Structure 1
Amino acid sequence: MTVYVDLLFGLNTAINYLLLRGAAAVGGAPGRRGRLLGAAAVGGLYAVATVLPLGPLLGALPGQLAAAALMAVLAFGWRRSTLRQGLYFLALSFALSGVVLLAVQWLEPSLRFLGGRTYYALTTPALLLLAGLSYGLAALVLGGAGRHTGGDLVTLPLALGEARVTVRALRDTGNTLRDPVSGEAVVVTGPEVLAQLLPGAAVTAAELRDPAALLARLAPQFPRAKLRLIPFRAVGVESGLLLALRCRSGRREILVAVNPDPVGGSGPYEALLGGASV
């Protein structure tokens, strides 16, 4: 049986990417595209290695777990939440295996043997379609399942260039705001925090209520902030936009959206998190 290494690598990379995106959607992790793609490519290389002479050794359970752990760290970074994200990745991998098994029972494809293992001859488009369906179902049905950890206060350091600010953030599972492009969870804060992150911007509450015009004014002045608009819905607001900027929090980058009014009012916090760890 002829094995095309480029096809094996490409197929496994694509499936791994969808599974990692699904794990990010379930756990509320940022899941930046470049990191996910790099981790998926490592998984693709591992798949190629398993058909080489040392394949049986690498394909054993310890090798599989080591590869999954490496992919999780590359995709989500070295922090406490990575273990949870890795478990989501494994769970989605098992779910995909179940979906493929159902497809096998239904389609009854022919069998192939490689390296002492049995393979079902599903086509590449069929496998990608099944992986895409698994990712979509995970995002739809399980999206945010890892965020329901209860409300509590945490200290959240934010940095943008030389600007530094530390805020108290309420971990609120009711905050489901996300970037519609990446699926990344978004922190919500108020104008007083924006003033410290963008000193000299002199942003007023009225400008924050017209975020599109404010984006046009600030983007040339603060390119490092990577300003963008985040759509949202709230009680009494069918659809709206919030100005958001990208900050560093510890070793990772996060999206911070700015509400026109102070988030905590006179309460003990200045920002809202979802349930996702930061």
Structure 2
Amino acid sequence: MKYIYIDSLFFLSLFTDYLLCLITARICRLCLRRRRYLAAALLGAAYSVSVFLPDLSFMASRWMELVSAALMGLIAFGGERRMFRCMAVFLAVSATFGGAIWALSLQTGALPVIDLRLLIGCFAVCYTVLSIIARSRSRAADRRTAAIELSLNGRHCCFTALIDSGNCLSDPVTGAEIVVISPGALRPLLPESTALLEIADPVELVTAAGDSPELAGRMRLIPFSALGGTGLLPVFRPDSVRVDGEERTGLLAAISAAAAGDGFEGIL
């Protein structure tokens, strides 16, 4: 007779679900939200335990499995720009991981049991395979993107930026590099200035920013030139900027509706 210890099941499930969320975030190039992934993993671990409780045997049904997976996806990826795509990737990663465990169990001639070494081996295989697929898709798209995280006055916003090798935009005074961001991506960073972000005229926008408690004294205009002509861009200096998780000092943020495209909300 085989015994399943509830505490071991809980912590192994917690470990598994957290890494599944983390792998999904890496594949989808999201800014990592580790607390949300931990909360989703806690739900998954609690569900795994409930399946083996006598009074909660109905939790083992397929419908409850789907409900549990959907709730985990909402907790981990709710609010992301492509939430449903992230949830679909999460389900695909989970299915790949489950298949890898089954395949390794058949290879060893044993039933799929809870074993930490088996979990680590499966994660290594799945992460490698999925990373290769993600990189090949990125090369096929023939463009590079980066996950950008801005901080200002204790608030944060995350978005994907297209890395444009032909982008030479910089501050003419200091030479600082500039990331151009669509207004929609800045809403979490500037919740009290959403009306201001709708202003299309850059001069009017900078003038209005002087009355904003979030941007007062921070925003100014810089000139730019492009194939479409010349003009002015409103720019401000965030408290901090991270590009793919690495701190970038001196980077300025410019606001332009033209910075949004298919799969990105900024241009670096």
Counterpart check, 1:200 vs 2:217: yes
Unaligned stretches of 5+ in structure 1?
A: 112-119, 169-191, 206-221, 233-239, 245-256
Q: Which of 117, 126, 131 is the aligned partner of 1:134?
A: 126
**SS state at 2:54 partner:** coil
Opposite residue 37 of structure 2, the aligned amino acid is L
Partner of 2:156: none
CA RMSD of aligned residues (A): 4.2
Q: Is the 8 A contact 2:101 2:118 kept in 1?
A: no
Partner of 1:258: 252
Residues 66, 31 of structure 1: CA spacing in aligned structure 2 closer, same or farther, 3 A cutoff?
farther
Matching of residues 1-278 of structure 1 within 5 Å: 1-77=2-78, 81-109=82-110, 111=111, 120-121=112-113, 123-142=115-134, 156=184, 157-158=186-187, 159-160=189-190, 162-164=192-194, 165-166=196-197, 198-201=215-218, 227-230=240-243, 242-243=248-249, 258=252, 269=258, 271-272=259-260, 275=263
Opposite residue 216 of structure 2, the aligned amino acid is P
Q: Is the 8 A contact 2:182 2:265 kept in 1?
A: no
Opposite residue 51 of structure 2, the aligned amino acid is T
Deviations 1:161-181 (A, max 9, x none): 74555279xxxxxxxxxxxxx
Opposite residue 190 of structure 2, the aligned amino acid is L
Residues 163, 154 of structure 1: CA spacing in aligned structure 2 closer, same or farther, 3 A cutoff?
closer
Residues 143, 7 of structure 1: CA spacing in aligned structure 2 closer, same or farther, 3 A cutoff?
farther
Residues 135, 274 of structure 1: CA spacing in aligned structure 2 closer, same or farther, 3 A cutoff?
farther
Residues 52, 123 of structure 1: CA spacing in aligned structure 2 closer, same or farther, 3 A cutoff?
same
Q: Is the 8 A contact 2:182 2:260 kept in 1?
A: no
Q: Distance in 2 between matches of 1:64 and 1:36?
A: 18
| Structure having greater relative contact order (Cα 8 Å, sep ≥ 6) | 1
TM-score (norm 1): 0.56
Q: Distance in 1 between matches of 2:265 and 2:13?
A: 29
Deviations 1:55-78 (A, max 9, x none): 542111100000001001111125
Q: Distance in 1 between matches of 2:27 and 2:47?
A: 25
TM-score (norm 2): 0.58
**SS state at 1:19 partner:** helix
Deviations 1:46-95 (A, max 9, x none): 00001111454211110000000100111112577322222111111111
Unaligned stretches of 5+ in structure 2?
A: 144-161, 163-180, 200-204, 223-236
Q: Number of aligned pairs? A: 199
Q: Distance in 2 between matches of 1:198 and 1:155?
A: 14
Shift of residue 274 of structure 1?
Answer: 6.9
